[in-house]
Amino acid sequence: MYSGSGDAHKDVFPEELVKLAQLSIYDKTHTDESVQSLMGFRLKPRYNETVDLTLVKQIMHTTHQTHLDGKKWKDLDPKMICTTISNEINDRVKDLCRSIREDNRYKCVVETCISKINLQGVTKKTGCLWDLKTDKLVSESYINEHLLCCSEVIIIFYY
């Protein structure tokens, strides 16, 4: 039975946890990070553990350049080249994610579409539900006079 004294928690909880629990929700002096590190686990990545999107875009650009520069539609097998480009981008982005966090909590999804240019318009749409602070979407397009290639990388932090 609860006796009403304020000292009943001292046997069960460390003093630091009690102080953090007594802070107001609107108190800006403490952060969620201090609570997580005190409890011994972290759900979301630190700022320096997030993926740099410019590096991912550069990976996609160089992969498109190496596989598609100077190619014509009749020279390509679209199914094979899409698979090759997607696998190479996926492997390189996974290596980048492993260099940031070794616990392999970043998951990558790569989608590549290739099309012949016939003076027509193309509309492509991707929709996902995710956490805006940890998950990212990067897209890159390659166009020459004969073909169009669009790749998208979705990077999801699994927690």
Segment 140-153, tens digit of pLDDT: 999 988 999 999 99
| Residue 109 to residue 61: CA distance in whole angstroms | 17
- Contacts of residue 124, defined as CB under 8 A and 6 or more positions apart, other chains included, come to 113, 150
Mean pLDDT for the chain?
80
116 within a domain of the structure (yes/no): yes
Is 77 found in the same domain as 146? Answer: yes
In a domain, 96, yes or no: yes
CA atoms within 13 A on the CB side of 15: 0
- DSSP character string of 69-101: TT--GGG--HHHHHHHHHHHHHHHHHHHHHHH-
Domain contains 79: yes
Same domain, 21 and 70: no
Show the domain range for 64.
47-157
Confidence class for position 58, pLDDT limits 50, 70, 90: very high
142 - beta bridge partners?
Answer: 149
In a domain, 62, yes or no: yes
Query: Which tokens hold the place of 90?
Result: 């996926």
2 domain-assigned: no
Residues 71 and 148 in one domain: yes
Query: Are residues 90 and 12 part of one domain?
Result: no
pLDDT confidence of residue 24: 46
Same domain, 51 and 35: no
Per the model's pLDDT, the better-predicted residue between 118 and 40 turns out to be: 118
Domain count, the chain: 2
- Phi-psi category of residue 110: left, alpha or beta, with phi > 0 → left and psi -120 to 50 → alpha: beta
As a whole number of angstroms, the distance between CA 82 and CA 155 comes to 19
Measured over the CA atoms of residue 48, residue 51, residue 57 and residue 60, the dihedral's sign is positive
CATH classification of the domain holding 149: 3.30.1140.40
